[in-house]
């Protein structure tokens, strides 16, 4: 069983984390371990038609954002990596600076020290130089910065198409390949 940590923060774009949990429910050999911050629930009220209990129910295991003693806060708890979707600048800053006051940053720090992948779907723009320095710092520690910038070669027809493709490509970085991702073949899309 592959274990994947999904963290949903309060940045705009909570649908990315929700969709990751939805897509991973269909993958038989993946177990999800989720952290959903209070800010994420607040943002969800504005952006999506999911109740907090519906979002929580998508995860196989759910952790309190303050529980820095949770299983996923230890390197001895093996995971295949972590996706932070969306990733707020506050969370990026905590990860880049190893400020492990909350579980999202602690779990990311553990993944990085264990040389596991951490994918950050950074969702706030435009960036100023401080944001760019934080992205560089996180990258130097091993994180992968992946703002959800859509690729249009897949010819998305709906917002759902854009979200699914972006989340699928982020999960690719954790070695989870979904059949819903449209792939470039050199002469078109497969």
Task: Name, in order, each residue with C-beta under 8 angstroms of 169's C-beta and a sequence gap of 6 or more.
Answer: 146, 151, 181
Amino acid 92: pLDDT: 98
List 122's β-bridge partners, or say none: 87
Question: What gap in Å lies between CA 15 and CA 67, rounded to an integer?
Answer: 24
């006051």: which residue's tokens?
101
pLDDT digits (tens, 9 = 90+) for 71-128: 999 999 999 999 999 999 999 999 999 999 999 999 999 999 999 999 999 998 999 9
Go through the domains of the chain in sequence order and give each one's CATH number.
Answer: 2-172 (3.40.50.1950)
- What tokens does 62 get? 């759910």
Q: What is the pLDDT of residue 5?
A: 98
Q: What is the pTM of this model?
A: 0.96
Given pLDDT bands bounded at 50, 70 and 90, which one contains residue 190?
confident
Reading the block at residue 22, the tokens are 């939805």
For residue 133, CA distances in Å to 106, 127, 139 come to: 20, 10, 10
CB-based contact 97:137 (threshold 8 Å): yes
Average pLDDT over residues 122-147: 97
Token reading at 168: 């699928």
């Amino acid at each position: 069983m592959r274990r994947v940590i999904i963290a949903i923060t309060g940045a705009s774009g909570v649908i990315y984390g929700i969709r990751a949990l939805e897509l991973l429910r269909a993958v038989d050999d993946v177990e999800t371990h989720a952290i959903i911050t209070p800010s994420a629930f607040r943002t969800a009220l504005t952006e999506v038609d999911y109740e907090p209990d519906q979002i929580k129910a998508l995860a196989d295991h759910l952790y309190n954002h303050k529980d820095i003693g949770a299983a996923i806060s230890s390197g001895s708890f093996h995971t295949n990596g972590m996706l932070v979707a969306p990733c707020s600048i506050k969370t990026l800053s905590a990860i880049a600076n190893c400020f492990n006051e909350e579980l999202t940053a602690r779990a990311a720090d553990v993944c990085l020290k264990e040389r596991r992948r951490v994918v950050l779907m950074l969702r706030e723009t435009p960036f100023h130089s401080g944001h760019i320095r934080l992205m560089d710092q996180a990258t130097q520690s091993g994180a992968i910065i992946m703002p959800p910038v859509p690729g249009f070669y897949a010819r998305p027809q709906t917002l759902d198409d854009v979200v699914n493709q972006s989340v699928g490509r982020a999960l690719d970085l954790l070695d989870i390949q979904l059949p819903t991702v449209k792939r470039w073949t050199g002469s078109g899309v497969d």
